[in-house]
Amino acid sequence: MELSSFIDDEFASAVEAIYNSKGRVIITGIGKSAIIATKIVATLNSTGTPAIFMHAADAIHGDLGTILNDDVVICISKSGNTPEIKVLVPLIKNGPNKLIAITANKSSFLGQQADFVLNAYVEKEACPNNLAPTTSTTAQLVIGDALSICLLNMKGFSSKDFAKYHPGGALGKKLYLRVEDISSVNQKPQVTKDTDVRKVIVEISEKMLGVAAVVENEKVVGIITDGDIRRMLNKHDNINGLKAADIMTHAPKSVESSMMAVDALEIMEANEISQLLVHEEGKYAGVIHLHDLIKEGII
């Protein structure tokens, strides 16, 4: 049977209970269900709904103090009749907390005691002996993800919010890292139109970005890359007297310092280039390189 058919009014009421709660979501279970519980906790936390895992066995040995008055408790159990669940559920029901069950057995002890029952019924396990929790734990996980996404939508959880909770990962960096965050720590290679090409070569080599901006009155008027230097050497046997203006490329590709780094990457890829000059309020501000984006995990 498809799980989508189990998304009913009971499911909607459970989502509303969590959304309207002033507390956290406490998720408990035992065995494989406990492992699924920890994953659902992680998903809720990363999508804006504070959640804590409480092992069902540990709960009856002191961890019951994890639950505060405003918290909503989710208990995960395929059978709904395990000994630990039968001990734990009455203790939870003694308090003011709403209890949500994720179970394959709505008529179980857990199903009968819960305020809301989320049906995670499966016909059989993928295990050939129909014993090892496989299909059932997948169903539990899907129900948990569905809860998380419904709450995400109700809270208006945005990509900026996601980045706030994932600052160290590549996904988060794509959502918050700006060009200036990278270019500001790079060296700032620049020459003028009248700079001798030998000094241009030195500037490019010393700043190690494969490029130098040609700047006048703090504004970019051109760019010289490693490729421009190679083409110059192929074209001229004698480079005496050559200036930056003689070999530079006019109107180079550039980006505003406030642009998202991932957008700068798209420009590089579209133009098959490795660097972009950076400007801030029309003034030259530095360089962002493809290698910077690789280092940051954007690629």
Annotated binding site for Zn(2+): 55
Closest CA to 177 of 43, 2, 5, 298: 298
Question: Which residues does the annotation place in the binding site?
Answer: 55
CB-based contact 275:288 (threshold 8 Å): yes
Nearest to 44 by CA among 74, 11, 9, 85: 74
Q: Which residues are paired to 242 by β-bridges?
A: none
Torsional class of 89: left (φ above 0), alpha (ψ -120 to 50), beta (otherwise): alpha
- List the one residue out of 60, 69, 61 whose CA is nearest residue 26: 69
CA separation for the pair 222, 214 (Å, rounded):
5
Tokens standing for residue 111 = 């199903």
Quickly tell me which residue has 């098959």 as its tokens: 272
Cα(258)–Cα(278) distance, integer angstroms: 9
CA–chain centroid gap for 292, Å, is 19
Structure tokens at 155: 């809270």
Distance (Å, whole) CA 89 – CA 151: 25
